[in-house]
A and B are shown apart, each in its own frame.
Chain A
Amino acid sequence: MPPPGHRGRADTVVRVVTYLDHAATTPMLPEAIEAMTAGLRELGNPSSLHAVGRRARRVVEESREIIAEAFDARPSEVVFTSGGTEADNLAVKGVHWARRAADPGRTRVLAGAVEHHAVLDAVQWLADHEGAKVEWIPVDALGRVRPEALREAIGPDGSDVALVTVMWANNEVGTVQPVAELAAAAREHGVPFHTDAVQAAGHLPVRFAASGAQSLAITGHKLGGPIGVGALLLAKPAEPLFLDPVPLLHGGGQERDVRSGTLDTPAIAGFAAAVQVTAARRDAEAARLAALRDRLIEAVRAAVPDAVLNGDPADRLPGNAHFSFPGCEGDALLMLLDARGIACSTGSACSAGVSQPSHVLTAMGAGAERARGSLRFTLGHSSTEADVKALAEAIGPVVERARRAGLS
């Protein structure tokens, strides 16, 4: 029996030559593949006390040190998880539970209105099941959470706030948030601040200690590492305003008793290798991607003059270009580009594959039509000028065709 994905005929469209969806996942770096596959050949549970276990443990700890260094954290602050979603859930739910256990009056959770679903739905779950009082901090038309808006939400006292959570950079429109200012505003009131840095970690100088955040979520597969591994950077409980989160997973007590479960040594090694390579190249790569991204924006505007660029035109992720195409439906554009071998995203998805209007664009004040007719193009380490050229040639006819289909 052939392995999954190799039975029968191939999908006629799977011959992707132009991959413009790096924000969904980006190819693994050769260094990460090498580290991970080497790890897969090795035996050992890092929690075992014998020599075989110690060898695995060494891989985990060296990986922890690499990741800590790359993100300006201490090794003891790195808690490995299964990815960004788990890291966000652990921070949001775990810190809420811990803070409320210490003081039942801390019932409020303040969250940015454009958070990823990993935060958004965790926060909403606290409201629906744990009696949390949730306030969504509004964003401006560019998708930014203003520090004044956060201060206003916290109010004069803030002693009833369990936590504040605002992402580092938005996964759909790419807008970068003023994280340090937001964290400082929370700190003024002694409130812990969590930030989802999943999209930012591979492209921006993400410095945990300097940011003032108490916790920060990252994941391997957005920066050239494997899928299925991530980390929550978690400030030490020595910080007076901070308590370790209540765990989501109970078990063997790994990861300072905050996240139980046998550590995935090969994946962690691959993750660390990717972080190391990405950190070393980050500034040069960000400049390269930003220049490529700007040419992509120009090319789209040249072909479709009424395309609207969403998000902050300047302060955005270097690989992100997010457009609304008036009179088009995002799903139709995606399908037509897919048929031409160009992969991109409508920036929204759900289990049945039915897209909902983006809560991000809606929060930014976009009407239903602008929200439905949007596409996200994201570049990464394997992107080249040829990718931009392919999109430049396709986007005009595709938009014209989708307009004929209209917003049905």
Chain B
Amino acid sequence: MTLRVLAAMSGGVDSAVAAARAAEAGHDVTGVHMALSSNPQSYRTGARGCCTLEDSRDARRAADVIGIPFYVWDLAERFHRDVVEDFVSEYAAGRTPNPCLRCNEKIKFAALLDRAVALGFDAVCTGHYARLEDGVLRRGVDAGKDQSYVLAVCTPEQLARALFPLGDTAKADIRREAERRGLQVADKPDSHDICFIADGDTRGFLAERLGAAPGPILDTDGNRVGEHEGAYAYTVGQRKGLRLGTPAPDGRPRYVLDISPVDNTVTVGPRESLDVQEITGERPVWLGEALGGPFGCHVQLRAHGEVYACTAEADGDVLRLRLATPARGVAAGQAAVLYDGDRVLASATIARTVRVPA
């Protein structure tokens, strides 16, 4: 069946090949590059991500080679509100957000998709590495590139209008295919960092927006062992950049255990204190039938993170997970994504964790 497809084209190799595959499959494809900053220079300066003039040109040139119409859509306001501001306020609340996931949930498969559907398109196509068959979302075959984790926040309604043409292929093959198709972005480097933080300095980005808020760094007994410039700049599990004045009694490295925005404190402790046994998630999104449980499955707790066996139990807006083996460095604000094998069952935002009793 020929669909009217809007291909979101970032200027990178993945979305270019995805658009080419959709066109080759016989769909009526239109390329759209999302402008995510009203001042394109204010985000990235190099062509490493999705926000520069160079990326816009790369996307346009890929569309030319594929032979599809191409437009730039201005989604800067929505992106700023739903992704950038959300990112800042989540950190301010002591949580660790994943902006790529938020961008999928609120921009690519919401703002962009809604507008596309209203304008007569049937589906949005992206270069994500995930498989989608009959409403079932599975991991991409390239385990190293799999992006099912950041797509798991999408509802079945959103996924019903999504196309992921790359899920069955390994990244290296996609680059070869791009080369074969004459796409100049074939060897363009992958993007890794947060696209709206130009220099990769997340702490500086947050400090600029939230201001300095100095406070104490405490150990688990409540002793002051250092100072921080703002509790928001820390992530649970972080070890580097703590600049602790007082060494630990046992001389072992210490990690961020807790961030408390209310009293502006950061608590540090030994590595084993990071071990988490139980996780409470909020607002689960079920990709298939909503399950009550308890049932056994696997859970992934951050992008490209480890997978843990667990027992899950859902009760309305709350999802409780009991891990078979402890997980280390679980940050509130990240997504807990449940898998049955390579199939995504549900996702929920991590709200609380229960540590392994000492």
Which chain B residues lie closer than 8 Å to A304 at the CB level? none
Q: Give the residue name and chain of the B residue nearest to A355 (CB).
A: B74
Inter-subunit contact B74/A331 (CB<8 Å): yes
Contact with A along B69-85 (1 / 0, CB 8 A): 11111101010000000
Asked if B119 is an interface residue, CB under 8 A from chain A, the answer is yes
Q: How far is the CB of A372 from chain B (nearest CB, A)?
A: 10
CB proximity to A under 8 Å, residues B225-255: none
Q: How far is the CB of A342 from chain B (nearest CB, A)?
A: 13
Interface window among A9-17, A91-99, A145-153, A251-259:
A9-17
* 29 pairs, CB–CB < 8 Å, chain A vs chain B: A8-B65, A8-B182, A11-B64, A11-B67, A11-B68, A13-B69, A331-B71, A331-B73, A332-B115, A335-B69, A335-B71, A335-B119, A336-B120, A339-B30, A339-B69, A352-B35, A352-B40, A352-B56, A353-B56, A354-B35, A354-B72, A355-B74, A356-B38, A401-B118, A401-B120, A404-B118, A404-B119, A405-B115, A408-B111
Additional A-B contacts beyond A11-B67, A352-B72, A408-B114 (20; CB < 8 A): A7-B182, A8-B182, A9-B67, A12-B67, A12-B68, A13-B69, A332-B119, A335-B30, A335-B69, A336-B119, A351-B53, A352-B40, A353-B35, A354-B40, A354-B76, A356-B38, A401-B119, A404-B118, A404-B119, A406-B118
Asked if B66 is an interface residue, CB under 8 A from chain A, the answer is yes
CA distance A339 to B78 in the complex (A): 26
Q: How far is the CB of A140 from chain B (nearest CB, A)?
A: 29
CA distance A392 to B114 in the complex (A): 28
Asked if A232 is an interface residue, CB under 8 A from chain B, the answer is no
Which chain B residues lie closer than 8 Å to A402 at the CB level? 119
Given contacts A332-B119, A352-B40, A408-B111, contact A8 B67 (CB under 8 A): yes
Inter-subunit contact B120/A10 (CB<8 Å): no
Q: How far is the CB of A359 from chain B (nearest CB, A)?
A: 15
Contact with B along A133-151 (1 / 0, CB 8 A): 0000000000000000000
Which chain B residues lie closer than 8 Å to A335 at the CB level? 30, 69, 71, 119
Given contacts A8-B64, A8-B182, A9-B66, contact A353 B71 (CB under 8 A): yes
CA distance A402 to B118 in the complex (A): 7
Q: Give the residue name and chain of the B residue nearest to A335 (CB).
A: B71
CA distance A10 to B64 in the complex (A): 7
Which chain A residues lie closer than 8 Å to B66 at the CB level? 9
Contact with B along A354-366 (1 / 0, CB 8 A): 1110000000000
From DSSP, what is the main secondary structure of chain A's interface residues?
loop
Inter-subunit contact B76/A408 (CB<8 Å): no
Given contacts A9-B67, A10-B67, contact A408 B72 (CB under 8 A): no
Which chain A residues lie closer than 8 Å to B78 at the CB level? 408
List the 3 closest A-B pairs by CB distance, nearest first: A9-B67, A353-B72, A405-B118
Contact with B along A313-341 (1 / 0, CB 8 A): 00000000000000000011001101100
CA distance A338 to B63 in the complex (A): 16
Q: Give the residue name and chain of the A residue nearest to B182 (CB).
A: A8
Which chain A residues lie closer than 8 Å to B71 at the CB level? 331, 335, 353
Contact with A along B11-33 (1 / 0, CB 8 A): 00000000000000000101001
CA distance A352 to B54 in the complex (A): 9
Which chain B residues lie closer than 8 Å to A351 at the CB level? 40, 53
CA distance A402 to B111 in the complex (A): 15
Which chain A residues lie closer than 8 Å to B115 at the CB level? 332, 405, 408
Most buried by B among A351, A402, A408: A408
Q: Give the residue name and chain of the B residue nearest to A333 (CB).
A: B119
Which chain B residues lie closer than 8 Å to A408 at the CB level? 78, 111, 114-115
Which chain B residues lie closer than 8 Å to A10 at the CB level? 67
Inter-subunit contact B118/A352 (CB<8 Å): no
CA distance A346 to B178 in the complex (A): 34
CA distance A124 to B182 in the complex (A): 42
Q: Give the residue name and chain of the B residue nearest to A10 (CB).
A: B67
Q: How far is the CB of B59 from chain A (nearest CB, A)?
A: 10
Q: Give the residue name and chain of the B residue nearest to A406 (CB).
A: B118
Inter-subunit contact A405/B119 (CB<8 Å): yes
Inter-subunit contact A354/B119 (CB<8 Å): no
Most buried by B among A7, A8, A402: A8
Q: Give the residue name and chain of the A residue nearest to B78 (CB).
A: A408
CA distance A335 to B64 in the complex (A): 16
Which chain A residues lie closer than 8 Å to B70 at the CB level? 11
CB proximity to B under 8 Å, residues A384-408: 401-402, 404-406, 408
Contact with B along A1-26 (1 / 0, CB 8 A): 00000011111110000000000000
Q: How far is the CB of B220 from chain A (nearest CB, A)?
A: 49
Q: Give the residue name and chain of the B residue nearest to A372 (CB).
A: B74
CA distance A408 to B65 in the complex (A): 30
CA distance A352 to B114 in the complex (A): 23
Most buried by B among A7, A8, A354: A354
Q: Give the residue name and chain of the A residue nearest to B66 (CB).
A: A9
Contact with B along A290-331 (1 / 0, CB 8 A): 000000000000000000000000000000000000000001
CB proximity to A under 8 Å, residues B117-146: 118-120
Q: How far is the CB of B121 from chain A (nearest CB, A)?
A: 10
Which chain A residues lie closer than 8 Å to B68 at the CB level? 11-12
Q: How far is the CB of A347 from chain B (nearest CB, A)?
A: 15
Which chain A residues lie closer than 8 Å to B40 at the CB level? 351-352, 354
Which chain B residues lie closer than 8 Å to A405 at the CB level? 115, 118-119
Which chain A residues lie closer than 8 Å to B119 at the CB level? 332, 335-336, 401-402, 404-405
Which chain A residues lie closer than 8 Å to B73 at the CB level? 331
Q: Which residue of the partner chain, among B53, B65, B69, contacts A352 with CB atoms under 8 Å?
A: B53
Which chain B residues lie closer than 8 Å to A352 at the CB level? 35, 40, 53, 56, 72
Q: Give the residue name and chain of the A residue nearest to B51 (CB).
A: A352
Which chain A residues lie closer than 8 Å to B33 at the CB level? 353
Contact with A along B176-204 (1 / 0, CB 8 A): 00000010000000000000000000000
Which chain B residues lie closer than 8 Å to A331 at the CB level? 71, 73-74
CA distance A10 to B70 in the complex (A): 12
Q: How far is the CB of A351 from chain B (nearest CB, A)?
A: 6
CA distance A354 to B39 in the complex (A): 9
CA distance A404 to B65 in the complex (A): 32
Most buried by A among B28, B68, B73: B73
Which chain A residues lie closer than 8 Å to B53 at the CB level? 351-352
Q: How far is the CB of B35 from chain A (nearest CB, A)?
A: 4
Which chain B residues lie closer than 8 Å to A338 at the CB level? 69
Q: How far is the CB of A333 from chain B (nearest CB, A)?
A: 10
